[in-house]
Amino acid sequence: MLTTIIYRSHICDSVSASVLGEMVTVANNKNSRADVTGILLFNGTHFFQLLEGPEEEVTEIYRHIREDSRHYNVVELFCDRAPARRFGKLGMELFDLREYDRDEVLQIVLNKGTSRYQLMYDDRALQFFRTFVEAREKENYFEIPPGNAWEFIPDSSAVVLDASYGDNTAECRFAFQPIIDPLAREIISLEALLRTPDGDSPERYFAGLHGQAVYEADLRSKKVAFAMAAQLAPVAQSLSVNLLPMTLVEVPGAVDFLLNEIAANGLVPEQIVVEFTESEVISRLEEFTGAVRQLKAAGIRVAIDHFGAGFAGLLLLAQFQPDIIKINRALIQDVHKSGSRQAIIHAIINCCASLHISVTAVGVEQPEEWMWLESAGIIQFQGHLFARPVMGGVSAIAWPEKKTGW
């Protein structure tokens, strides 16, 4: 199937534009042998390339290009199938935008097109040309340094609670993972993650339970979470706990139970964030919103977890605004390489800024993901890059420190 890939990238400072001619000659030969065509635009700082051809060949050439050390911050903008090539005759022509008049350059580029798409501006691929040539999105080209520009140095703050956690009879335990502001070196909150007493998953904790019993077990587990968190109070001012949305609806007096346990452990409601998972919320939104009002009235903050992973995230936001949104790992993964993820996360950040909702990025594993998200304006992070969850305690936190020379 005819496949089109478009990406943009940043030329390395050490590479002189004079070597590009030779690079393109080599590329031309390789592309011709693979039946891959396209065009490469250069504006003095950034490359923008369209590659078209059989799926396997285009993917393989793009894989090589991504690893080429002559450029960095390679961001895929477009990957789609098409009935015909847009730049079919060209091999790989290098087109230096600086040599043309600003008002004409887009048309000159498009005139090199070979297909009936030529002047159809509603073709998505050609829209990307227009955006690049007219430098419309330039403020979103974050020039993040390579991942090894930062070191992540664990501090000595690890805490492990006494093995009994004060309650040997409890049917569950919790692992804790910090949510941090890495540049301010601040712990924002600890998230309590449900485990069985021997450290197994929440699914195991709920296994064998049905109907009302699931919600009751969910609520009861928070008693243990608050008791353990009270012992971790010196580490963080705020605690995040997860709750099934329907627990508030199905268990009579659920909010009072939470408030009693919060008070019994010497905590105050303003310290607590209750996290709900988006896809579970949406099925019974009206009832859920009513129950959440009680939490809010008591001073407890509300977060929507795994935002972006469900099927109606934006509808949810239209009807119900939480205090915090946690962006799902699936959207965060490789964000520095993906134009579509970048566009979606920009939109979430802008929307949340207008609604004064805080944004946390969850599941951050790579330094480049963190750097991109930080450049985009996110300040709260959770992920293995900084700290893994620890049963009955909090791990040391690996704070980023920029290496000298960057």
Ligand X SMILES: Cc1cc2nc3c(=O)[nH]c(=O)nc-3n(C[C@H](O)[C@H](O)[C@H](O)COP(=O)(O)O)c2cc1C
Residues that bind ligand X (CB under 6 A): 9, 23, 27, 30-31, 40, 47, 49, 51, 61, 64-65, 68, 70-71, 92
In the complex with ligand X, the residue whose CB is nearer, 34 or 108, is 34
Nearer to ligand X, 144 or 262 (CB): 144
Choose among 309, 343, 331, 314: nearest CA to 78: 343
- Helices 254-264 and 285-298 pack at an angle, to 10 degrees, of 30
* Separation of alpha carbons 132 and 118, rounded Å: 17
The β-bridge partners of 3 are 53, 81
Rounded least distance, CB 132 to ligand X, Å:
13
3-state helix, strand and coil shares in percent for the chain, rounded to the nearest 5:
40, 25, 35
The answer to whether 40 touches 80, Cβ cutoff 8 Å, is no
CB burial of 252-274 (b: ≥16 within 10 Å; e: otherwise) equals eebbebbbebbeebebebebbbb
| C-beta of 51 vs 272, nearer to ligand X | 51
CB of 339 to ligand X, least distance (A): 16
- Angle, helices 339-355 vs 367-376, to 10°: value is 40
DSSP letter, residue 265: T
List phi, psi (to 5°) of 399: -85, 140
Q: How far is the CB of 73 from ligand X (least distance, A)?
A: 12
Nearer to ligand X, 114 or 279 (CB): 114
Q: What is the closest distance, in whole angstroms, from the C-beta atom of residue 29 to ligand X in the complex? A: 8
Which is closer to ligand X, CB of 30 or CB of 346? 30
Nearer CB in complex with ligand X: 9/328: 9
CA-to-CA separations, 14 to 18, 26, 45, 224, in angstroms, rounded? 12, 20, 12, 57
CB of 19 to ligand X, least distance (A): 10
Report in angstroms how near the CB of residue 153 gets to ligand X at its nearest.
33
State the minimum distance, in angstroms, from the CB of residue 42 to ligand X.
8
Cβ proximity to ligand X, 51 vs 332, nearer residue: 51
Q: Burial letters for 179-202: b for 16+ Cβ neighbours within 10 Å, e otherwise? A: bbebeeeebbbbbbbbbbeeeeeb
Q: Copy the structure tokens of residue 172.
A: 């569950």
Query: Minimum CB separation from ligand X for residue 47, in Å?
Result: 4
Cα 74 versus chain centre, distance? 17
Whichever of 40 and 291 has its CB closer to ligand X, that residue is 40
